[in-house]
Structure 1
Amino acid sequence: MWPPRRIAGEASLALLLVLPAVAFGLLGQRGVAETAGVALAVGLLTPLRRVLPATVLLVAAAGSAVLPETGALVLIAAWSAGRRIGGLGRAAGFFAIAYTLSLGLSVLREQSLLSPSILLFSGLWLLVSLIVPGLAGRYWSQRRTLTDTLYEYNSQLIRERAMIAGHARIRERQRIAQDMHDSLGHQLALIAVHTGALEVDRELTGRQREAVGVLREASVAAMHELRDVVGLLRDGTEAPGPEGTEPATAPEAGHPGAPSRGVAGIDSLVETSRRAGATMELRRSGEVRPLAPTADHAAYRLVQEGLTNAHKHAPGASITVALRYEEDSLVVEVTNSPAAAPVPGSVAGGGQGLTGLEERARLVGGMVHAGRTADGGFRLAGVLPYTSQGGNQATFVAAPDDFRAQRPAGPFGEMDPVIEGQGLPKELAKAMSRNKRGSGIAIGCGVAALVALVLLAALIVGGVFLFREADDAMIEPKQYHAVKVGQSEAEVRERLPHGNSFLTSDVEKGAPPVPEGARCLTLLSTEFGTTWDAEPVFRFCFRDGVLVEKKSFEVES
């Protein structure tokens, strides 16, 4: 089934070809029935050329020889046949048959075409109107096929390159995950075991036992987080457990021992810091509203980073955690007062925590600010948007494909990014460059051949025109001598050309006077004059239906 756009186009083209056929038929005094039949045939052949290109080409070529008003159909049929007839030999055969058929029918229809010059002109005209559109259509079809092949090749290369890059990323992430599991997992397991044994030591005081419990809980929480990270790095593949015997997957919500990684887990972070001896305060304001999972996790990480920095860089300082639910976003703040004692120089810091928080906030459409307070303390704040009304959530994609996954669809739908001609491989770029140069040369040669053909046709047309004008304006000397004064005008004019030609327009200059009351017929001679500037002229003057004078003279050309 054709799409509506093609149906409309074919209907418009058929109407455009039918109207001239009707107009020529009526102006040529052809009957209404015959004109209607020709118009119906043209209207049916126009869309049928897509299904039967060779048949329509032959019918149109034969019809144009008998019905000149169908000449426009020949151009369309030749273009379509050049595009759709498969095989160079098959296409050349059909076009040769169409050319021979059209030329033969034209010769049979007009006996005057038997003249060599007129026959040559007719053959060249058919060559231009039949063969040139076919060559143009075939070139366009082959160029389009080549372009589609190149784009398909380009798509395959880009897909393969993306697969190789994806496999490389997966291998590297698995290697990192394995290293983290083997090193950090082992160390955290040892910390959990030793702190668990130390917690039940009877020689510890209550305060010391409480601090050891905090360390044990922190080590257990760190193990759960490590397992989460290892699971993400492995792209969902199972990671071995801390002891290397059981698979470790990301803990689900509500799993015993797996603390929440969202806003709900902030209370646990505050309580853990309070049990570690820090002066903590948690403030909430506004109506609680849900966040997207990624934003919820970012809020948890922001508080976690703020508390870590406060414990590391301002030990003993009071810490305030504030959660403010605004109209369009959640504002999370972690503020600590100035350090109560100098910070030990051995405290390690990677300097990457704030950078990671800023990236987390940016990906969910928020922002993070960190800086000193007026009293010398430190403040870490983040603005995180809520879940939208439609429930849309932020979509995370791999960095190299970010622009593709988040790009909006165009007016004609989503464009496949793998067929865009960006970042082409060198081999494909060279192939396409060579193809462009070859196409340019082919187009140039085709245009030059077409121009030469048109010029040749123009020369032939001009020669034929001059030949006809010469027949109407020139006679041989023996014809002049065969005419006698006193013969009737009708008899003389029947034996001579009519002389209505632009070649005789200037021969009256310098001619002898015309007899009074006479009308003259002036003709040129087929012989040369006595000089290069002289033009021999024959003049016949008539009066009262009788030839009264004939003169032979020369004028300057």
Structure 2
Amino acid sequence: MDVSSKIRAARLWLAGPEAWSGRRIAGEIVLAVVLALLAAGTQELMGSTGLVQFGTALAVAVLSLLRRRLPASVLVVSGGAAGVLAGFGPLLMVSGWSAGRRIPGAGRALAAFTASYVLTIAIGVSSEWPQFSPLSLILFSTLYFLATTVVPGLASRYWTQRRTLLHALQEHNAQLLRERAMVAGQARLRERQRIAQDMHDSLGHQLALISVHTGALEVDPALTDRQREGVGVLRNASVAAMHELREVVGILRDGVERDDAATAQGPPPVDDPHPAARGAAGIEGLVAAARAAGNSVELRCTGVRRPLAAAADHAAYRIAQEALTNAYKHAPGAAITVELRYEPDSLVVEIANGPAPADPGDVVSGGQGLTGLRERARLVGGMVHAGRTDGGGFRVAGVLPYGADGLPPATVAASFAAPLVDAQDDFRQQSPSVPLGDGGPVMDWTVVQRELMMSGRRGSRASGVALGCGIAVAAMVLLAVAGGFGLFFLAGSADRGMIEPSEYEAVKVGTSETEVRDSLPDGDSFMTSGLEDSGPAKPEGSDCLVLASSEAGDSLTAEPVFRFCFRDGKLIEKKSYDVVQ
């Protein structure tokens, strides 16, 4: 295995189940360097040697890179090291945040944080005792661990669990939407199949009888030529109606498995003299028929011809047919313009006629033609507009989308990228990894943007933030309470182990021990822990009281100390010196 393969294997091992992008790698390196510099700077402030500073910085950098792969181990090691080396403090905070979200199971997370806490307390107390009181060390270490490790860990774990729950709910909601769409689609297809079957069985039978009887009547020798011509027109009309019925039934059954009876009928014959196509291509035939009937009709076609979906293609033909029929009835003799415009995303079918040259009189109309056209266009995703023109004529225009079969690939991709948000979606946003049916991907928002959007729509953005930080706030309240007790304890303890330099100067050698002790604190404080055995040798047979000075020393490692030594009930010596920590 070459060096590059080893580096790649090590990087994959460090990343774990998550893939590291270039930005993630750069971020991890920068964070490791920052933590290493903070560790070295902290150890320098504590007076450590250069070798200790370098070793601490190197260990912090390595552990920072390992915290994603080994969150529990890094947390425990950081906690133990922080008890003796202050430079591990920043790493302890980062490892607490990382461990809170990456350790699976509440039990394992609790065990890891407990082990880290125990090591921090045990190593910290053992390294500082007997200079400081064990009780005060435990109190300070507990507050420090809660603030730097537990609070970030709880906040991180809560945030991660909230994101996971939100994602799961969105996936479940998307699944329900897909199932609902499938059920509705199946119900719609079954209803279409039932309608098609009813039309085929009822209308098809009646039209077939008309065609047979008119065909037999057409060859009857008793008919005159004029009567035979009229019967031929009826027979041709019935045959054309049968083919249109076959086309409508085919559109209704599109995508539906046909039953055995429909399959047994087989496909229409290839040499059918009356093709069933009634789409945009058939509009030219309508115009030609209108011209043959003596009407003035002009056909215009612009743009590049593109195929439409079957239902939309049929709707284009029906719009032109109904509009021409209305023009014949309501404006006989008026000039008619039929225009087909192939736009980039849809086909526009526009039929306009001028004002009627004469009063058409009473026109019999069902009043449902335009309503039916609007509904037909709506079902295929289009629209129909009808109304009077400025010149007194009438205009009918339909806009019909091409569908996936007629759009170029780039346009299809752009249309599929449109956001699909269900009107009844309680989450306001679908999961970005869950496609809904065949509609393509949903809105690609990040989790943070989605949660802010959800809280904003409820009109309570502040409540959403408070909810997200609830655990952290509760922990901070506990810290504040504990800190208050700690400060109260420290204040009382400091008063019992510290005096002003002026008080030291006021005490005179030879004064009775009772008078001196009554005027000074008793020295029972963490401030004086470990100070009694430091400094110059005590007078032989004396009992000494050691107190700390309220003023700071000349350096961070030197602590001013006042010592009062008693023998035979009198103060025989008082000394002021510095204790190096």
Preserved CA contact (<8 Å) 1:306 1:334:
no
Equivalent position of 1:197 in the other structure: 216
1:306 is the counterpart of 2:332: no
Residue type of the alignment partner of 1:305: E
Letter in 1 for 2:296: E
Letter in 2 for 1:452: L
* Sequence identity percentage: 39
Aligned to 2:58: 40
Instruction: Give the aligned partner of residue 455 of structure 1.
Output: 481
By how many angstroms is 1:115 displaced? 3.9
1:391/1:305 Cα in 2 relative to 1: closer, same or farther (>3 Å)? closer
CA root-mean-square deviation: 5.0
Structure of larger gyration radius: 1
SS of 2:99's equivalent?
A: helix
Q: TM-score, normalised by structure 1?
A: 0.67
Written as runs of structure 1 = structure 2, the 5 A alignment for 1:470-549 is: 470-473=496-499, 479=513, 481=515, 497=547, 500=550
Matched, 1:322 2:356: no
- Matches of 1:65 and 1:202 in 2, distance apart? 119
Shift of 1:207: 4.4
1:463-502 CA-to-partner distances (Å, cap 9, x unmatched) read 224422432228999636469xxxxxx999x967466479
Secondary structure of the 1:235 match is coil
- Cα displacement (A) at 1:105: 0.8
| CA contact 2:318–2:373 (8 Å) conserved in 1 | no
Q: 2:237 aligns with which of 192, 211, 218?
A: 218
Looking at structure 2, the residues matched to 336 and 209 of structure 1 have their Cα atoms a distance apart, in angstroms, of: 38
Which residues of structure 1 form unaligned runs of 5+? Answer: 397-401, 422-436, 484-489, 503-521, 524-539, 547-557
Change (3 A) 1:368 1:460: closer
SS in structure 1 of the partner of residue 275 of structure 2: coil
| Residues 104-162 of structure 1: per-residue CA shift (max 9 Å, x gap) | 11112111244423433333433443333333333333333333332233233222222
Q: How far apart are residue 103 of structure 1 and its match? A: 0.9
* Aligned ranges 1:119-518 → 2 under 5 Å: 119-237=138-256, 246-247=265-266, 256-258=273-275, 260-270=277-287, 272=289, 278-284=293-299, 290-293=305-308, 298-310=315-327, 317-318=332-333, 320-324=335-339, 331-333=350-352, 337=356, 342-343=361-362, 347=364, 349-353=366-370, 355-356=372-373, 360=377, 368-371=385-388, 379-382=394-397, 392=407, 404=420, 416=435, 444=470, 447-473=473-499, 479=513, 481=515, 497=547, 500=550
Match of 1:77 among 95, 104, 123: 95
Alignment partners' CA distance in 1, 2:203 and 2:486: 93
Residues 270, 406 of structure 1: alpha-carbon distance in 2 compared, 3 angstrom cutoff: farther
- With over 3 angstroms needed to count, the CA separation of the structure-2 counterparts of 1:142 and 1:383, relative to structure 1, is closer
Change in 2 beyond 3 A, CA 1:239/1:198: farther
**What's the TM-score once normalised by structure 2's chain length?**
0.65
Confirm or deny: 8 A CA contact 1:54 1:81 kept in the other structure. yes
Could you tell me how far 1:7 is from its partner in structure 2? Answer: 2.4
Distance change >3 Å, CA 176–CA 325, structure 1 → 2:
closer
Distance 1:46 1:498, change over 3 A: closer
**Letter of the structure 2 residue corresponding to residue 353 of structure 1:** L
Question: Partner of 2:568 in structure 1?
Answer: none
- Residue 281 of structure 1 contacts residue 320 of structure 1 at CA under 8 Å; is this kept in 2? yes
- Asked if structure 2 preserves the Cα contact closer than 8 Å seen for 1:262 and 1:297, the reply is yes
- Aligned residue number for residue 93 of structure 1: 111
**Which deviates the most, 176-185 or 470-479?**
470-479
Are the equivalent residues in 1 in contact too, given 2:374–2:383 (CA < 8 A)? no
Q: Which residue of 2 aligns with 1:104?
A: 122
Relative to structure 1, is the Cα distance of residues 386 and 57 closer, same or farther in structure 2, using a 3 angstrom cutoff?
closer
Q: Which moved more, 1:206-215 or 1:222-231?
A: 206-215
Q: Is the 8 A contact 2:350 2:395 kept in 1?
A: no
Check conservation: 1:321, 1:333, Cα contact below 8 A.
yes
- Aligned length in residues: 468
* Counterparts of 1:35 and 1:342, CA distance in 2: 106
Q: Does structure 2 retain, via aligned residues, the 8 Å contact 1:53–1:80?
A: yes
Partner SS for 1:369: strand
Q: Provide the C-alpha distance between the structure 1 equivalents of 2:340 and 2:179, rounded to a whole number of angstroms.
A: 47
Quick one: structure 1 residues 366 and 36, their matched pair in 2 at CA, closer, same or farther if it must change by over 3 Å?
same
> What displacement does 1:262 show?
3.9
Distance 1:141 1:24 in 2: 31
User: Aligned equivalents of 2:361 and 2:102: distance in 1?
Assistant: 86
Instruction: Determine which structure has greater relative contact order: mean sequence separation of CA pairs < 8 Å that are 6+ residues apart, divided by chain length.
Output: 2
1:186–1:12 Cα change, 3 Å: farther
Q: Identify if the C-alpha distance between structure 1 residues 471 and 247 changes in structure 2 by more than 3 Å, giving closer, same or farther.
A: same
Compute the displacement of 1:216 (Å).
2.7
Alignment check: 8 A CA contact 2:43 2:87 kept = yes
1:5 aligns with 2:2: no
Structure 2: 5+ residue runs without aligned partners?
A: 1-18, 413-417, 424-428, 446-462, 518-537, 553-561, 564-570, 576-581
CA offsets 1:172-230 (integer angstroms, 9 cap, x no match): 22222222222222222223223333333344444444443333333222222222222
CA distance in structure 1 between the partners assigned to 2:243 and 2:144 by the alignment: 86
Q: 1: distance between equivalents of 2:230 and 2:251?
A: 32
Cα distance between partner residues in 1 of 2:121 and 2:60: 20
- In 2 relative to 1, CA 303–330 (structure 1 residues): closer, same or farther, beyond 3 Å? closer
Aligned with residue 32 of structure 2, among 6, 11, 14:
14
Judging changes above 3 Å, is the alpha-carbon distance between structure 1 residues 358 and 207 closer, same or farther for their aligned structure 2 residues? farther
Cα distance between partner residues in 1 of 2:313 and 2:154: 66
**d(CA) in 1 for partners of 2:221, 2:170:** 76
Q: 1:439 to 1:29 in 2, by over 3 A?
A: closer
**Distance apart, 1:64 and its partner CA:** 0.8
**8 Å CA contact retained: 2:43, 2:85:** no
Report if aligned partners of 1:17, 1:43 keep a CA contact under 8 Å in 2: yes
Looking at structure 1, the residues matched to 94 and 141 of structure 2 have their Cα atoms a distance apart, in angstroms, of 20
